[in-house]
Each structure stands twice: as C-alpha cells, then as structure tokens.
C-alpha cells in the first residue's frame, strides 16, 4: 500500500521535526511562567490561612521551588527526558496522571464541537452559496455574523438559561449523571445529553467561520470552467455541487480547521469553566490560579503536540482531497 | 429533410448590450459547420446558447433554436439536462481548466455514462477505457486512473472529447477546441474530431478564429462580426473569392492567403481598429473599420443577400469590390 507508506513517512517526519519545536515551547513557556508573581507554595499557604514563614519555606524546599530557576528548568527537562511530566504540588499526584484523567473529556468535547462546526458550517455555507445574494443567504449571513461576534461564554450562559433553566431539557453542567450506574446505550445517551450544550457553545463560533468560508470558496469554484463542463454533461445542479464544487471548495476549509484545533483548546477553557466540564481547559485555568506551573507546562506541552499532530493530519487530508498536492 | 439544428433569428441580450443579433444558421446531420470570427464576435455565446448554458446575466431575447425537431428554448430544465451530454456534446477551449482537478479522468468520463445510460460503476469504467482508446490515448487502461494534472494539454483535450462523445451525441459543439494547444497537437486533435465525426455520424459545430482550421475541416463556413452573420459560404468559395470586406480582411491577415507566403516575405496586413467600434453603430457594424465604406453604409444594416448558390453576404457593394482584386489586402 503506497498510501499507507506515505502516511507513516509523513507522520515520522512530522514527529522528528516536532522535537526542536517542543523544546522551544517548553523553555519559552517556562521562563514566561516565572514572570508571574507568586508560586504554588504561596497559594497553598494562602489557602491554608495559618501558614508560617517556616512552613512555606518547607513547602518550597519539598517541591524544589527554592532552587535557582535554571536548575529548576534542568530538573524539568531531565524529567521529560525520562518521559515524566513531573509532580503537581497542588493536586499531590503525577502531572501525567492528572492530564490523563482530563484529556479524554476535552478531546471528546473538541472533536464533537469540531464535527458539529464543520458539518453545520459546510451545509449552511453551501446553502448560502446556492442562494448567494438572495434572502436565505442574507439571513444566514446575519446569523453567522452574530455567532462570530458573540463571546462563547455568553452563548454558553444563554444556552443554559434557555435549555436548562426555562425548558429543563438538558443538564446545565458536568459530564454525566452523578451516581448513575448506566452502561451501554443508556450511558452513551446520558453522556450525549451532557455534551450537547458545551459542544454547541464551543462550535457556534466556528460554525460561523466555516459557513462564511464555505460560501466564499464555493462561489469561487462555481465560476471555474470544469463546473461548466459538468453542467454540459447533463448533471443536475445538486449533482454538480455535490460531486464537483464541494470537494474543491473543502480544501481551504481543512486548512482552517487544522489551525483551529489549537485555538479550540483556548475556547475550551472558557466553555469548560461555564459548564463545569472536567477537562483540560479547566485544569489549565485552575493551574494558573494555583500557580501550579508543572501542571501548566504539561498541558502546554501536550497541546502543542496536539497542534503539531493536527497539522500533520491536515496535510494528509489535503493530499487525499487534492491529488495535485501529493506526498512531498 | 429538416436540418438537425436550425437557429433562426437568435438574439442574445445582456442587460446593456446585445452581443448576438438576428443570427440564423443550420447544420445538417453529419455536417461540420465552422463559425469564424474574432474575439467578441459572439461565437462562444452562440455555442453556450445552444447548450442553454449562458452566463446568468445573458438571456436569449428572441429567436428559435430547433434541434432534432424540438424547440430548445421551450424545454424545461430537466428536459434540457437529458439532451446535454447525451444528444449534444460540448468541448471547451481550455482543456487545462475544463476538467475537475480532483477527480480521475476515468470517473469524469464515467459520470456522463452513469447519468444518461444508467450504467453501473464497473460497466461505466470499462466504457471509459474504450472511449480513451477511441480518442487514441495510449495505455488507456492505466491512464483511466490518472488525474488531469498528470496529462498534457493535448491529452486533456482528448479526454474532453471522450467525455463529449461518450453517449454518441448527434451534435458536437467544439468551442475553439485547439486554441490552447501547441500547433503540432492542433492538427492531431482536429483530425481526431473529424474521424470521430465520421465514425459516430455526428454533426459538428466548430467555433474558431483560425482560418486554417476552417479550410481543412469545415463543410460550410459562417463568418460572424459583432454578433451578426456577415458571410456564409463553402470553404473553397470563401478562400477563392471572399465577398465581405471583413472576410477579405481576415484572409489578408492570414499567412494562408497565398500558398508560398511566409512571415519572412513581408508583414501580414491587419484590419485597422477593433470590434469595439461596432458598439452603437447605426448602420453596418463593420463600417468604422471598412476600407470600402461609403456614406450609405451608415444608414441601415445591410441585409443578407444571395450573390451565388450556397452563399450569403451582408454587404451591398461586393460586386464593385470584386472589380478591384485584393483591394483590402493591397492597401497596406
């Protein structure tokens, strides 16, 4: 299978190239975080309320926070070289375990949101392109502009007010019914119910982007010669759009979607906080508030890895969508 | 017998202009009709009107197009779709951009067969390979899975031809099929079209601005200027004895005027001015550029007259022009 060989080769090359990138990200972030006032010991002491000079100093010594900055960096890098993300002073557990707990929640949320965004965005964008300049296009343009400009936390709150408080259809937060021992389909359905609102609030912004992008891209492709050829073959307008226009129009959308995977992680922080979703975004938020830099560095490392992998995936999707690109 | 295609008084209008006016011609079964004219003369729009694929802003404002005893302008969208690709095939000017870059050529050819002949995927693929063989693409059974960017321009135009003739149409419209190709490839492609026309018994409407193409491959020629037919003749008559001043100018501007003429021997003549000057002209549209123009030319549009059997010309002064042989050509 030459296709499979190509995929493996692309991934291997991507990962090798990722190593210096990741190293740069870690070192840069490490120094940036040092600029923040206070450390984990300060926060822990503040929360305890009865800390003395000595007990804070003891905490610092225990977590290695009192050693010079460069030494701390060396220790961290040494840990990484041994495939360890370090230990969280605040949670009292290895960072890797902490992230492993939260990662699936965020990944599902992001994946569902991205799928909703691309699916709805492409459908709405196609509709807008089909009716370009007419009423459906104008209406959808207004809505997409609206969702593009409204911050996601506000959309999140309004969705909670409407669907949870007023209508009572969907839960307002969390990721599953607490204490329910559901299995199989019932468990999946339960999880889906909790997923709807956070995924929608995360997705709406991107729906707007993809709809506008699809519209522009399709209008451009529609004027190309091969579309006229397709009509000259006797295809229906729907057939021409589905078979000839859409696939060509999707190429810029995959590029954007790949770039958005990183951005979505940022959006997830807000949405996860609003919906008390147990994900990586909220963990990052809590880590910042608790000055838990080991956790934060771990998350940053992981998310940059995620972005790099997403870009590699986009390259592969591109090669599949557009044979002219092919393997490099 | 009624002609296969009959166009009567076709007028195509844009909101601010009428690029084709009162155009009439007919095409018999199995015949090749060449429509000649410079850019902007309305040739391509006429072709698109035959397919009912005019750009959105353009409308057929009057006239009739009868194909195979059906009035095309009264057909609804789905009836017209049944004709496109099955009864009337079309080849476009730019083989580089007229094929979908992300679909294999085999699938693009199969698509026509699936739509019109309801073939299964496998049968359509087999037919696509046959068609690629028919248009002389070597190694067709491997080439069928190629993407357009893997083929040369001439090959792509062959694929376009294979697509256009896939359902054995009665009429093939070729809109400048060789303009974008190398000169060496042009003759091959036109030869292929001519062979296919005979093998498949198609009529061909060949739109071109290349008089060499006309001389070699057309049965009959229509010369268009500014959206009107100015002359119609058999190719031999046209080249031996062009009547309309515009046709004479075209021939004078072509190296084929005399057999032994070459660029090295002297400069080719040109027709002064541009087709834009026809806009807003009350009389003969060619008057601003015509070396033989007289005062009366500005009064009304000259009607088509029949100076000889099988000929039509829209200029009342052809006999006096003939008295001065090669008048137009010699002026420069």
* Cβ pair A225:B83 closer than 8 A: no
For chain A, say whether B103 makes contact (Cβ under 8 Å). Answer: yes
Confidence of residue B323 (pLDDT cuts 50, 70, 90): very low
User: In chain A, which residues have their Cβ closer than 8 Å to the Cβ of B54?
Assistant: none
Q: Which of A235, A248, A321 sits opposite B115 (nearest CB)?
A: A235
Question: Strands A93-94 and B32-36, how do they pair?
Answer: unpaired
Cross-chain Cβ contact B98/A229 below 8 Å: yes
For A233, the closest of B94, B115, B147 (CB atoms) is: B115
The residues, any chain, with a CB within 8 Å of residue B56's CB and separated by 6 or more, are none
Let me know if residue B302 belongs to a domain. yes
Statement to judge: residues B49 and B113 lie in one domain: yes
Asked if residue A75 and residue A125 are part of one domain, the reply reads no
pLDDT category at B266 given cuts 50, 70, 90 is: low
Same domain, B180 and B89: yes
- Between B50-64, B202-216, B243-257, the lowest mean confidence (pLDDT) is in B243-257
Q: Please tell me whether residue A303 adopts helix, strand or coil conformation.
A: helix
Q: In percent, how much of chain A has pLDDT > 70?
A: 96
Does B92 touch chain A if contact means CB atoms closer than 8 Å?
A: yes
**Over 50: is that where the pLDDT of B232 sits?**
yes
Residue A253, pLDDT above cutoff 80: yes
* A235–B111 CB contact, under 8 Å: yes
Judged by a CB distance cut-off of 8 A, whether residue A132 touches chain B is: no
Say whether residue A244 is in contact with chain B using an 8 A CB cutoff. yes
Sheet with B70-71: strands ordered across: B20-27, B5-13, B59-67, B70-71
Give the closest-approach CA distance of A1 to chain B in angstroms: 16
Do residues A208 and A300 both lie within one domain? yes
Asked if pLDDT for residue B227 goes beyond 80, the answer is yes
CA-closest candidate to residue A264, choices A317, A217, A210, A321 = A210
Task: Determine the Cα–Cα distance for residues A44 and A272; give it in Å rounded to an integer.
Answer: 24
Domain presence at residue B277 = yes
A320 CB within 8 Å of a chain B CB = no
Same domain as B12, residue B99:
yes
Tell whether A90 and A118 lie within a shared domain: no
pLDDT, residue B125, reads 92
Residues A112 and A88 in one domain: no
What is the C-alpha to C-alpha distance for residues B111 and B125, in angstroms, rounded to an integer? 9
Task: State mean pLDDT over A251-280.
Answer: 82
Instruction: At A88, give phi and psi (nearest 5°).
Output: -90, 120
Tell me, what's the pLDDT at B256? 56
Q: Is residue B230 part of a domain?
A: no
- Comparing C-alpha atoms, which of B111, B100, B96 is closest to residue B180? B96
Q: Which of B162, B191, B223 is the last residue of a domain?
A: B223
Q: Are residues B218 and B308 in the same domain?
A: no
**Same structural domain for residues A213 and A311?**
yes
Decide which of B174, B195, B223 is a domain's last residue. Answer: B223
Do B128 and B165 lie in a common domain? yes
Please check whether residue B237 lies inside any domain of the structure: no
Query: What is the structure's pLDDT at A328?
Result: 44
Judge whether A326 lies within some domain: no
Q: Would you call A321 an interface residue with chain B, using a CB distance cutoff of 8 Å?
A: yes
Of A36, A68, A95, the one marking the end of a domain is: A95
A244 inside domain: yes
**B81 — contact with chain A (CB < 8 Å)?**
yes
**Are A176 and A248 members of one domain?**
yes
**What are the tens digits of pLDDT across the range A204-222?**
888 999 999 999 999 988 8
Domain match, A44 and A110 both: no
B59 and B190 fall within a common domain = yes
The total domain count for chain B is 2
Task: Choose, out of A220, A227, A234, A236, the residue to mutate when testing the contact with B (most B CBs < 10 Å).
Answer: A234
Same domain, residue pair A84 and A223: no
Q: What is the pLDDT of residue B329?
A: 41
Within an 8 Å CB–CB cutoff, is residue A232 touching chain B?
yes
pLDDT at B23 over 50: yes
- Say if the Cβ atoms of A229 and B100 lie within 8 Å: yes
CATH code of residue A295: 1.10.3720.10
pLDDT band at A65 (very low <50, low <70, confident <90, very high): confident
**What was the ipTM of the complex prediction?**
0.84
Domain boundary among A32, A64, A95: A95
Q: Does residue B236 belong to any structural domain of this protein?
A: no
Cross-chain Cβ contact B97/A226 below 8 Å: yes
B231 domain-assigned = no
Other beta carbons less than 10 A from residue B7's beta carbon: 24
Q: Pinpoint the alpha helices (H) of chain B.
A: 43-51, 77-83, 105-117, 121-134, 140-143, 153-165, 183-200, 211-217, 235-240, 245-252, 318-323, 327-330
Does the residue B145 lie in any domain?
yes
Residue A326's pLDDT is 60
Q: Where does a domain end: B223, B251, B275?
A: B223
Pairing mode of beta strands B220-225, B32-36: parallel
CA-based nearest residue in chain A for residue B56 = A223
- Give the β-pairing of B20-27 and A87-88: unpaired
Which residues of B are less than 8 Å from A232 in CB distance? 51, 53, 84-85, 89-90, 92, 164
Q: Tell me the per-residue pLDDT of B289-319, one tens digit each, with 9 for 90 and over.
A: 887 778 888 788 888 888 877 888 888 877 6
Flag whether residue B82 sits within 8 Å of chain A, measured between CB atoms: yes
What is the distance in angstroms between the Cα of A324 and the nearest Cα belonging to chain B?
A: 7
Mean local confidence (pLDDT), A101-120: 88
Neighbouring C-beta atoms of residue B64, cutoff 10 Å = 15
Count of domains forming chain A: 2
What's the mean per-residue pLDDT of chain B?
A: 84
Q: Are residues A70 and A216 in the same domain?
A: no
pLDDT given for residue B328 in this prediction: 41
How many CB pairs lie under 8 A apart between chains A and B?
Answer: 72
Question: Is residue A298 within 8 Å of residue A19, measured between CB atoms?
Answer: no
**Whether B205 contacts chain A with CB within 8 A:** no
Domain closes at, from A95, A122, A156: A95
Chain-chain contact of B85 with A233 (C-beta, under 8 angstroms): yes
How close does chain A come to B101, measured CA to CA in Å? 8
Would you say residue A104 lies in a domain? Answer: yes
Looking at the complex, report in whole angstroms how far the Cα of residue A94 sits from the nearest Cα belonging to chain B: 48
pLDDT for the residue B128:
92
Residue B162 lies in a domain: yes
**B86 in the same domain as B138:** yes
Same domain, A273 and A144: yes
**B98: contact with A, CB 8 A cutoff:** yes
B17 against A117, higher pLDDT: A117
The verdict on A133 touching B (C-beta cutoff 8 Å) is: no
Q: Is B114 on the interface with A (CB under 8 A)?
A: no
- Mean pLDDT confidence for B163-182: 88
Domain that holds residue A214: 100-321
Contact assignment for A226 to B100 by CB distance below 8 Å: yes
Q: What pLDDT sits at residue A124?
A: 92
- Torsion angle of C-alpha atoms B170, B176, B178, B181, degrees rounded to 10: -140
3-state secondary structure B16-62: CCCCEEEEEEEECCCCEEEEECCCCCCHHHHHHHHHCCCCCCCEEEE
- Beta carbons of A232 and B84 less than 8 Å apart: yes
Residue B129 pLDDT: 92
What lies within 8 Å, CB to CB, of B314 at 6+ separation is: B228, B229, B230, B231, B244, B284, B301, B302, B303, B304, B305
**Shared-domain flag, residues B182 and B326:** no
| pTM to 2 decimal places | 0.76
Q: Phi first, then psi: give them for residue B22, nearest 5 degrees.
A: 50, 45
State residue A286's pLDDT score: 83
- Whether residue A38 is found in the same domain as residue A125: no
| Structural domain includes residue A328 | no
Q: Look at A224 and B97 and tell me if their CB atoms are within 8 Å.
A: yes
Domain boundaries, position B323: 242-330
Mean pLDDT of chain A: 82
Mean local confidence (pLDDT), A273-293: 82
For every residue of A79-129, DSSP letters joined together read: HHHTT---EETTTTEEHHHHHHHHHHHHHHHHHHHHHHHHHHHHHHHHHHH
Nearest residue in chain B measured CA to CA from A225 = B98
Q: What is the pLDDT of residue B178?
A: 83
The pLDDT value recorded for residue A327 is 46
Q: Do A235 and B81 touch (CB under 8 A)?
A: yes
Q: Classify residue B158 as exposed, middle or buried by CB count within 10 Å of its CB (0-12, 13-18, 19+).
A: buried
Q: Are residues B289 and B147 in the same domain?
A: no
pLDDT exceeds cutoff 70 at A2: no
Q: Flag if A234 and B81 touch (Cβ within 8 Å).
A: yes
What are the angstrom distances between the C-alpha of A140 and each of A128, A132, A214, A268?
7, 10, 13, 25
Does the beta carbon of B284 lie under 8 angstroms from any beta carbon of chain A? no
Tell me B4's DSSP state.
S
- Cβ distance B112 to A233 less than 8 Å, yes or no, reads yes
> Average pLDDT for residues A177-187, to the nearest whole number?
71
pLDDT of residue B332: 34
B175 vs B183 pLDDT, higher one: B175
Q: Which residues of A fall within a CB distance of 8 Å from B101?
A: 226, 248, 322-324
Domain CATH for B84: 3.40.50.300
Task: Tell whether B270 and B149 lie within a shared domain.
Answer: no
Give me the residue from A236, A239, A244 closest to B100, CB to CB.
Answer: A244
Task: Tell me the pLDDT band of B321, cut-offs 50, 70 and 90.
Answer: low
Å between A237 CA and nearest CA of chain B: 10
**pLDDT above 70 for B182:** yes
Residues B95 and B213 in one domain: yes
Cβ–Cβ < 8 Å for B194, B108 = no
The pLDDT of residue B320 is 58
Q: Tell me, yes or no, whether A36 and A68 share the same domain.
A: yes
Mean pLDDT lowest for which of A31-45, A110-124, A171-185? A171-185
Same domain, B65 and B192: yes
């Amino acid at each position: 299978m030459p296709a499979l060989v190509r995929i493996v080769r692309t991934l291997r090359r991507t990962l090798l190239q990722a190593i210096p990138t990741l190293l740069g990200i870690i070192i840069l972030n490490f120094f940036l975080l040092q600029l923040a006032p206070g450390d984990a010991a300060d926060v822990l002491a503040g929360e305890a309320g009865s800390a003395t000079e000595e007990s804070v100093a003891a905490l610092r010594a225990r977590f290695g926070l009192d050693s010079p900055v460069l030494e701390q960096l060396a220790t961290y890098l040494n840990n990484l070289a041994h495939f360890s993300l370090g230990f969280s002073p605040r949670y009292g557990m290895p960072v890797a375990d902490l992230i492993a707990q939260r990662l699936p929640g965020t990944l599902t949320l992001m994946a569902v949101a991205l799928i909703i965004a691309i699916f709805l965005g492409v459908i709405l964008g196609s509709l807008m392109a089909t009716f370009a300049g007419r009423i459906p296009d104008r209406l959808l343009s207004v809505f997409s502009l609206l969702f593009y400009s409204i911050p996601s936390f506000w959309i999140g709150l309004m969705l909670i007010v409407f669907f949870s408080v007023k209508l009572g259809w969907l839960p307002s937060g969390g990721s599953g019914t607490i204490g329910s021992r559901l299995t199989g389909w019932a468990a999946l359905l339960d999880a889906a119910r909790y997923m709807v609102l956070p995924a929608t609030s995360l997705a709406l912004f991107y729906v707007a982007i993809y709809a506008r992008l699809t519209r522009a891209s399709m209008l451009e492709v529609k004027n190309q010669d091969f579309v006229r050829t397709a009509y000259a073959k006797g295809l229906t307008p729907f057939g021409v759009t589905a078979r000839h226009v859409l696939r060509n129009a999707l190429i810029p959308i995959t590029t954007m979607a790949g770039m958005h995977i990183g951005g979505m992680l940022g959006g997830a922080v807000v949405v996860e906080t609003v919906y008390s979703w147990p994900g990586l975004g909220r963990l990052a938020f809590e880590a910042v508030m608790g000055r838990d830099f080991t956790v934060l560095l771990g998350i940053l490392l992981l998310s940059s890895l995620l972005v790099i992998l997403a870009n590699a995936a986009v390259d592969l999707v591109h090669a599949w969508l557009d044979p002219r690109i092919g393997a490099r | 017998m009624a002609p296969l295609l009959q166009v009567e008084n076709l007028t195509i209008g844009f909101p601010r202009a009428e690029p084709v006016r009162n155009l009439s011609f007919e095409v018999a079964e199995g015949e090749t009709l060449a429509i000649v004219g410079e850019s902007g003369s309305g040739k391509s729009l006429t072709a698109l009107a035959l397919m009912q694929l005019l750009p959105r802003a353009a409308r057929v404002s009057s006239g009739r197009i009868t194909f195979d005893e059906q009035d095309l302008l009264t057909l609804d969208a789905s009836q017209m779709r049944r004709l496109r690709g099955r009864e009337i095939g079309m080849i476009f000017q730019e083989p580089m951009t007229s094929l979908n870059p992300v679909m294999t050529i085999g699938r693009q050819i199969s698509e026509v067969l699936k739509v019109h002949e309801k073939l299964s995927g496998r049968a359509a693929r087999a037919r696509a390979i046959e068609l690629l063989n028919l248009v002389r693409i070597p190694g067709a059974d491997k080439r069928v899975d190629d993407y357009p960017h893997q083929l040369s321009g001439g090959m792509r135009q062959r694929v376009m031809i294979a697509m256009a003739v896939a359902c054995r149409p009665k009429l093939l419209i070729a809109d400048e099929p060789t303009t974008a190709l190398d000169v060496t490839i042009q003759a091959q492609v036109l030869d292929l079209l001519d062979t296919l026309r005979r093998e498949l018994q198609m009529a061909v409407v060949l739109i071109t601005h290349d008089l060499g193409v006309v001389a070699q491959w057309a049965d009959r020629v229509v010369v268009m200027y500014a959206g009107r037919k100015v002359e119609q003749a058999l190719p031999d008559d046209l080249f031996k004895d062009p009547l309309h001043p515009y046709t004479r100018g075209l021939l004078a501007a072509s190296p084929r005027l005399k057999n032994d003429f070459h660029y090295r021997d002297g400069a080719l003549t040109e027709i002064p001015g541009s087709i834009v000057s026809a806009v807003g002209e009350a009389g003969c549209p060619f008057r601003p550029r015509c070396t033989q123009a007289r005062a009366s030319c500005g009064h009304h549009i000259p009607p088509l007259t029949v100076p000889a059997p099988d000929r039509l010309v829209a200029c009342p002064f052809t006999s006096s022009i003939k008295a001065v042989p090669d008048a137009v050509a010699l002026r420069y």
